[in-house]
Amino acid sequence: MASIPFYARRFVSGANMADALTSVEKLNARKVSASLDLLGENITSETQARACTAEYVRLLEAIATRKIDSHVSLKLTMLGLDISESLCVQLLGEVLAKADALGNRVALDMEGTPYTERTLAMYEAASRDFRSPEIVLQAYLKRTEADVERVLKANGRLRLCKGAYREPDTLALQDMKDIRANYMKLAERALREAKRVCLATHDDALIDALKAFIAREKIPKERYEFQMLYGMREKTWFRLADEGHNVTVYVPYGEHWQAYYSRRLAERKENVFFVLKNLFRD
């Protein structure tokens, strides 16, 4: 992992697929699943987009061959959304077809608001042709309540996170108290109606509230999972798993770690404190 600097190694599982799969196997041994993510986004070359697609196909095949408990996450800009929507649809279809054939899942990561509608529309279309897609929604966006309804009308599979991009107050809630309240409201709606909800949060107050809601409403275990980032709150992953909850860790890998690490910190100053705090917290 020589190409990844020491300060990023806690949060990036490795420079290549082999490193990442080994990391996932260690998680599986502790009853924790994974969502593998090849790092990179905003691809501007069709050749690169096709190479990323081929890597995801190989990744899905490796997961099946090694009988690893993991699905995959991808960004549509990695599959050429900035180049051509038709190209992106074609390449996404190749990944989803492989996932369908292998009985796996593909999460469409949400990017900044210039991509929100396009990503959601592509998910809705893909859900009509494939079983494998799910989508990430961000609770801090004011539009997300309506977007949850669209997901419920599609295949009802989503990951809910707070949101990491810096967005204007015309589009996104800014106060963390309001974001938490909206997250819980949306999570409760999804837990009642969705086929599967991935609850992506490191927030202890939200985790406790979600656990209480799940117990009170008797939500079946197969319809939800808690999700957290690789390198953050490890003791919490294993505690939740030991309590009987499904737990998935988002496991990124690859040499293009800067967009996942450095640029994310620049987008929201709150993330700098969050990452630094988690260097010393499990």
51-82 tens-digit pLDDT: 999 999 999 999 999 999 999 999 999 999 99
Task: Tell me the whole-structure pTM to 2 decimals.
Answer: 0.92
Pull the structure tokens for residue 173: 């809630």
Please name which of 192, 193, 191 lies closest in space to residue 225, comparing C-alpha atoms: 191
Supply the residues annotated as catalytic. 109, 159
235-255 tens-digit pLDDT: 999 999 999 999 999 999 998
Question: In terms of residues, how long is the chain?
Answer: 282
Instruction: Report the alpha-carbon distance of residue 282 to residue 90 in Å, rounded.
Output: 41
Instruction: Report the alpha-carbon distance of residue 263 to residue 272 in Å, rounded.
Output: 11
Q: Which domains does the chain have, with CATH numbers?
A: 6-278 (3.20.20.220)
Please name which of 105, 209, 98 lies closest in space to residue 156, comparing C-alpha atoms: 105
Tell me the average pLDDT across 192-200. 98
